[in-house]
C-alpha cells in the first residue's frame, strides 16, 4: 500500500502577521515557518495506518522554492518514507496545486491521498477537492475518523459537517482531508530527525510536469482587516447589564 | 455569459438562510456583468426549497429533485451543477461558505479547471470585473483577488452580506438529473445529527461561548442557563472542543464556524487569533475572564475581569429578574 501526503510550508500560525505598507503581501522578515498544522495531522494519520501493519509506504509531497524542502524533511522526520519536492518558485493557487498533485499522483499511483483540509496561510480549503475532481476519484473531506476496510480497498470516513457527523465509505483510490480532531500529531523524535537526513527527496522541476502554472486566481492587493475599537472594562455584573441595556441596547 | 448561479443549500427540504447572503453577492456581480441571477436547489423531495428561494429575485429557480441526490455526495452534485451551468451560460457560481459548499464548490470548479475564491467577505469592481475580498491568515489580512478563468467560483461568508430581500418571483425550472451516485465510489452511510433545542450557532442573535476557563462540561452548564435566558446559541473555543466538553460543531474560529451575532459573550475564553477570526464581526462583544491580560479583551466592547463561575450565574439571575 502507498499513501501520498502533503506538507505545505506555511508561516507559524502562532505568530502575528503584518500586512506590508504597500499592500503587496505580508511582512515575511523574521517570520518562522513550519508544516501546515492540518498537513501534520494528515501525515500522522498516514503513519498510524502504516504502523497498524500492511507495510504501507508514506510519500510526502511539497511544492515550492528551495526552502519548501525543510517541511518535506519535517514530514520525513515524523516517519514518512520518502519525499517529492516539486520545485516551483512562482506563486500558485489551489487549482495549479491540484493539477501538480494530479501529475505526481499519476506517477506514484498511491492507494489514497490524505492532506490537510486547509492551509493556515491562505485558508482556501480547495486543493484536495480539486485534486479529487481532476482525478475523478471519491473525496472524503474534513475527516475526524478514518477506518480502513479489512482488504484495504476502501475506507469508512467520519466527516465533520454542519449540525453533526456524516459517515461515508469511499472506494480507493480516493482523496481524504484531515480535520482538527482526526488525531494528535506526534513530535519528531531525535532519531527520527537523524534518520530523515538520509531519506531521499526527489526534486521535480515544475516545468517538467506540463502543467499550466498560471494561477486562475490573481492576487491584486493585500489590506488590513477592519479593526474593532477598543472597548471598556466594567466593574461588576450590574454595570454590565446596564451597559448592555442602555448603551448597546442588545438585551 | 455574465449569468450567475447560486447553489442553494437545504436541509430536509428547508432552505438554509445563509443561501440568501450568497444571492446578495450574486446580485451585486450580475448588476455589473449584465447577467441574470438564477438559483439551483438539489436533493431528493426538496421542491419546497425551490418555492422558497424563487421569491428572492432570482430569474430561474432550477430544481434538481431526484432520489439520486437524496444524500449529498460531491461528484453527482458537482456534475449536476456543471450541466446546469453549461446549458444556462453561467459565468459565476456562488454558495454560502458552509461545510456543504466547502466540499462541493472546489470539486465543481475543477470540472472547468477554474479558479475559486473562498469565504468572500466583500466585493469591489474594476469596471465590470469583480474583485473579491477574502480573509487570509485567520482573518489577519484581507486578500483582494480576481478570477481569470472563463467560469468563476466562490463561497460567500454569510455574516458579511445582508440576506437578499424578496423581489419579483422567479420560475421554478425542473432539471433532469443524469448523475448516478452508484458510479462514483462513495457510499453514504449516515448522519449523526447533533440534537439541540437552541437556535443554530450561525443564525442566532446571541451566542455564548466558553473556553478552557469553563474547566469542564459543568462550566458549560452554567453558560447554558444564561443561554436559556437569552435564547442564545452555545459556542466554544478549540480548547473546549478538543477536551471533549462540547460537540465539535460548536467550535467558533478560523477552522470552525464563523459567527456574527448581535451579542457575543465569551466566558473563560482567552481569545486566540484563530478564535477571534470566527467572531470578530459580532456587533457587541462581551468578555468575562479572570485574566485581565487575555487577548479577548482587545476586541471586547465590554470586558469584565471576573471568575465566570461567579459572574455568569449573577448575570443570569440579573437578566431573569429584569424579565420577571
Judge whether residue B322 has pLDDT over 90.
no
Query: Quick one: closest CA in A to B258, which residue?
Result: A162
pLDDT value for A230: 73
All residues of chain B having their beta carbon less than 8 Å from the beta carbon of residue A169 are: 186-187, 189
* Band of residue A239 on the pLDDT scale cut at 50, 70, 90: very high
pLDDT, tens digit, 9 for 90 and up, residues B224-263: 999 999 999 999 999 999 999 999 999 999 989 999 999 9
Q: Domain B3-183 adopts which CATH fold? A: Rossmann fold (3.40.50)
| Interface probe, candidates B71, B186, B318, chain A, greatest A C-beta count within 10 A | B186
- Among A122, A16, A227, A125, smallest CA distance to B145 is for A122
CB proximity B138 to A under 8 Å: yes
In chain B, % of residues over pLDDT 90: 95
The residues spanned by each domain of chain A are 2-247
Residue B191's pLDDT is: 96
Q: Which residues of A touch B115 (CB under 8 A)?
A: 93, 95, 215-217
Chain B residues with CB under 8 Å of A124 CB are 116, 118
Cα B95 from Cα B102, distance rounded (Å): 9
Mean pLDDT of B284-310: 97
Identify the pLDDT of residue A191. Answer: 97
For residue B324, pLDDT over 80 is answered with: no
Mean pLDDT for chain B?
96
Instruction: Examine domains B3-183 and B206-323 and report if their fold is the same.
Output: yes
User: What are A236's strand-pairing partners?
Assistant: none
Q: Is pLDDT of A171 > 90?
A: yes
Whether residues A231 and B285 touch (CB distance < 8 A) is answered with yes
The domain locations on chain B are 3-183, 206-323
What average pLDDT does range A44-73 have in this prediction? 95
Nearest residue on chain A to B137, alpha-carbon basis:
A121
Contacts of A82 (CB under 8 A, 6+ apart): A57, A58, A59, A60, A76, A199, A200, A201, A202
Domain B206-323 has CATH 3.40.720.10: no
pLDDT band at A228 (very low <50, low <70, confident <90, very high): confident
Q: Does B153 touch chain A if contact means CB atoms closer than 8 Å?
A: no
Residue B194 has a pLDDT of 86
Question: pLDDT value at position B33?
Answer: 94
The DSSP line for A8-55 is: -EEE-TTSPP-B-TTSSSB--TT--EEE-HHHHHHHHHHHHHHHTSS-
Residue numbers in B near A181 (CB within 8 A):
241-242, 248
Q: How confident is the model at residue A229 (pLDDT cuts 50, 70, 90)?
A: confident
Which of the four pLDDT bands, split at 50, 70 and 90, describes residue B195?
Answer: confident
Strand ranges (E), A41-163? 57-64, 82-87, 112-116, 139-148, 154-161
Tell me: pLDDT of B1 over 90. no
CB contact under 8 A, A224 and B143: no
- A and B: number of Cβ contacts within 8 A: 266
CA nearest to B241 within chain A: A181
Q: Does domain A2-247 have CATH number 3.40.50.620?
A: yes
Round to whole Å and give the CA distance between B22 and B20: 5
pLDDT at B184 over 90: yes
| Mean of pLDDT values over B172-178 | 97
> B300 and chain A: CB distance < 8 Å anywhere?
yes
For residue B275, give the C-alpha cell: 478564535
**pLDDT over 90 at A55, yes or no:** no
Asked if the model's pLDDT at residue A54 lies above 80, the reply is no
Provide the β-strand partners of residue A178.
A116, A143
Q: Indicate the residue of B105, B145, B185 with minimum beta-carbon distance to A218.
A: B145
φ, ψ for residue B320 (rounded to 5)?
-65, -45
pLDDT, mean of residues B64-90 = 97
CB contact under 8 A, A126 and B186: no
> Which residues of chain B are within 8 Å of residue A22 when distances are taken between CB atoms?
none
Q: Is the pLDDT of residue A53 over 90?
A: no
Q: What is the pLDDT of residues B20-73, one digit of tens each?
A: 999 999 999 999 999 999 999 999 999 999 999 999 999 999 999 999 999 999
Amino acid at each position: 500500500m502507498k499513501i501520498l501526503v502533503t506538507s505545505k510550508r506555511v508561516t507559524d500560525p502562532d505568530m502575528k502577521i503584518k500586512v506590508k505598507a504597500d499592500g503587496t503581501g505580508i511582512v515575511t522578515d523574521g517570520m518562522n515557518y513550519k508544516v501546515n498544522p492540518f498537513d501534520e495531522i494528515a501525515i500522522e494519520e498516514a503513519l498510524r495506518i502504516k504502523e497498524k501493519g500492511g507495510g504501507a509506504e508514506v510519500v510526502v509531497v511539497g511544492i515550492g522554492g528551495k526552502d519548501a524542502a525543510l517541511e518535506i524533511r519535517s514530514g520525513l522526520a515524523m516517519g514518512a518514507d520518502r519525499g517529492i519536492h516539486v520545485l516551483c518558485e512562482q506563486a500558485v493557487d489551489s487549482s495549479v496545486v491540484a493539477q501538480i498533485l494530479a501529475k505526481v499522483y499519476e506517477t506514484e499511483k498511491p492507494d489514497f491521498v490524505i492532506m490537510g483540509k486547509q492551509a493556515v496561510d491562505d485558508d482556501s480549503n480547495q486543493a484536495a477537492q480539486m485534486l479529487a475532481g481532476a482525478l475523478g476519484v471519491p473525496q472524503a473531506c474534513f475527516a475526524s475518523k478514518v477506518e480502513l476496510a479489512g482488504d484495504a480497498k476502501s475506507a469508512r470516513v467520519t466527516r465533520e459537517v454542519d449540525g453533526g457527523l456524516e459517515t461515508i465509505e469511499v472506494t480507493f483510490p480516493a482523496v481524504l482531508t484531515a480535520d482538527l480532531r482526526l488525531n494528535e500529531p506526534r513530535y519528531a523524535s531525535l532519531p527520527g530527525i537523524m534518520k530523515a537526513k538520509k531519506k531521499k527527496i526527489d526534486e521535480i522541476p515544475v516545468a517538467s510536469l506540463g502543467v499550466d502554472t498560471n494561477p486562475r486566481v490573481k492576487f491584486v492587493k493585500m489590506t488590513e482587516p477592519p479593526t474593532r475599537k477598543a472597548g471598556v472594562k466594567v466593574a461588576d455584573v450590574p454595570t454590565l447589564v446596564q451597559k448592555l441595556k442602555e448603551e448597546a441596547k442588545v438585551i | 455569459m455574465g449569468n450567475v448561479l447560486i447553489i442553494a443549500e437545504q436541509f430536509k427540504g428547508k432552505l438554509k438562510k445563509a443561501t440568501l447572503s450568497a444571492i446578495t453577492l450574486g446580485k451585486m456581480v450580475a448588476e455589473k456583468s449584465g447577467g441574470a441571477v438564477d438559483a439551483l436547489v438539489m436533493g431528493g423531495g426538496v421542491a419546497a426549497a425551490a418555492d422558497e428561494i424563487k421569491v428572492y429575485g432570482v430569474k430561474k429557480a432550477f430544481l434538481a429533485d431526484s432520489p439520486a441526490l437524496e444524500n449529498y455526495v460531491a461528484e453527482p452534485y458537482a456534475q449536476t451543477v456543471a450541466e446546469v451551468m453549461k446549458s444556462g451560460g453561467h459565468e459565476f457560481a456562488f454558495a454560502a461558505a458552509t461545510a456543504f459548499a466547502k466540499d462541493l464548490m472546489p470539486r465543481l470548479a475543477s470540472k472547468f479547471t477554474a479558479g475559486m475564491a473562498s469565504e468572500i467577505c466583500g466585493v469591489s469592481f474594476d469596471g465590470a470585473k469583480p474583485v473579491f475580498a477574502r480573509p487570509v491568515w485567520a482573518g489577519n489580512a484581507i486578500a483582494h483577488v480576481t478570477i481569470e478563468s472563463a467560469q468563476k467560483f466562490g463561497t460567500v461568508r454569510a455574516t458579511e452580506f445582508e440576506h437578499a430581500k424578496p423581489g419579483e418571483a422567479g420560475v421554478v425550472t425542473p432539471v433532469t438529473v443524469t448523475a448516478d451516485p452508484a458510479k462514483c465510489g462513495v457510499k453514504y452511510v449516515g448522519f449523526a445529527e447533533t440534537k439541540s433545542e437552541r437556535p443554530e450557532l450561525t443564525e442566532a442573535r446571541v451566542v455564548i461561548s466558553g473556553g478552557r476557563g469553563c474547566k469542564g462540561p459543568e462550566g458549560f452548564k452554567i453558560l447554558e442557563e444564561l443561554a436559556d435566558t437569552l435564547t442564545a446559541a452555545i459556542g466554544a473555543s478549540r480548547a473546549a472542543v478538543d477536551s471533549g466538553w462540547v460537540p465539535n460543531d460548536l467550535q467558533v474560529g478560523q477552522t470552525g464556524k464563523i459567527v456574527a451575532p448581535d451579542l457575543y459573550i465569551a466566558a473563560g475564553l482567552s481569545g486566540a487569533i484563530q478564535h477571534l477570526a470566527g467572531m470578530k464581526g459580532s456587533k457587541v462583544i462581551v468578555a468575562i475572564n479572570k485574566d485581565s491580560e487575555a487577548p479577548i479583551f482587545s476586541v471586547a466592547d465590554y470586558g469584565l475581569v471576573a471568575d465566570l463561575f461567579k459572574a455568569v450565574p449573577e448575570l443570569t439571575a440579573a437578566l431573569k429578574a429584569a424579565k420577571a
